[in-house]
Structure 1
């Protein structure tokens, strides 16, 4: 399922079999606001609307969401894990090695898995997760001294 902004946060939670609470709703809304967010970034966004929410509550919600398939966690090398609402479509990511920007990139072939290893060693493959690293257009255009 890709991110569908028209679906209410409460409906998303119920659809994933989760109880609807204000902190959970706020976490979903934070991930709508910031497509690839760390737990700390989600916590900061949630704090604007629910200042009494604890960081542990945000971590718990994110963990529950990942377990329920509502949220996907990506783990870029050398960075904290990031969370996103776009799930179940086998998309990949582009990450700028200068500024850390993260962009979604659709599957290269279009159906999972979109990459095939040279030897699957007998595994039945379901998904391929690829992270491309490079320099985004804004960083490439900036003078070297600004990087």
Structure 2
């Protein structure tokens, strides 16, 4: 059973609650992730630059690094692609990625709470999470290739 999501904090409250200083570029990065989940730093920079024109790509990278360290943002690293960032951090979900167009979708854990997968031999580790990436072809790409 999943619980109802907590009410969304505005970007400034979210940043402040993690003990970080609120800046225009940090706020804009959080807002950009709300608009474009599973985005790369470059994609986020393109969005942020429209609202904070004096920001730099480096400040977006810095904000993302601070957010990942603070647990505000999750970084996923699909094979052969740049790192992607998302705001969904407080559950053990997985991802579906289209191998043709690169679309990314969240997939809830297949069975039970984290880690929701149990290794055959944990080698003494206390497993807390499991990351699974499902690769396939999204419906739009499948339809386009059928034409």
- TM-score, with normalisation over the residues of structure 2? 0.93
Unmatched 5+ residue regions in structure 1?
none
Cα-to-partner distance string for 1:37-90 (whole Å, 9 max, x where unaligned): 000001000000011101100000000000000000000000000000000200
Q: How many corresponding residue pairs?
A: 144
Paired position in structure 2 for 1:103: 105
Which of 103, 125, 145 is the equivalent residue of 1:143?
145
Paired position in structure 2 for 1:125: 127
Paired position in structure 2 for 1:70: 72
Paired position in structure 1 for 2:62: 60
Q: What is the CA–CA distance in structure 2 between the aligned matches of 1:3 and 1:144, rounded to whole Å?
A: 38
Paired position in structure 1 for 2:85: 83
Structure number with the bigger relative contact order (C-alpha 8 A, sep ≥ 6) is 1
Which of 40, 43, 54 is the equivalent residue of 2:42?
40
Which of 32, 37, 56 is the equivalent residue of 1:30?
32
Cα offset, 1:15, TM superposition = 1.0
Do 1:73 and 1:81's aligned partners in 2 also have CA atoms closer than 8 Å? Answer: yes
Do 1:96 and 1:136's aligned partners in 2 also have CA atoms closer than 8 Å? Answer: yes
Q: Does 1:8 align with 2:10?
A: yes
CA RMSD of aligned residues (A): 1.6
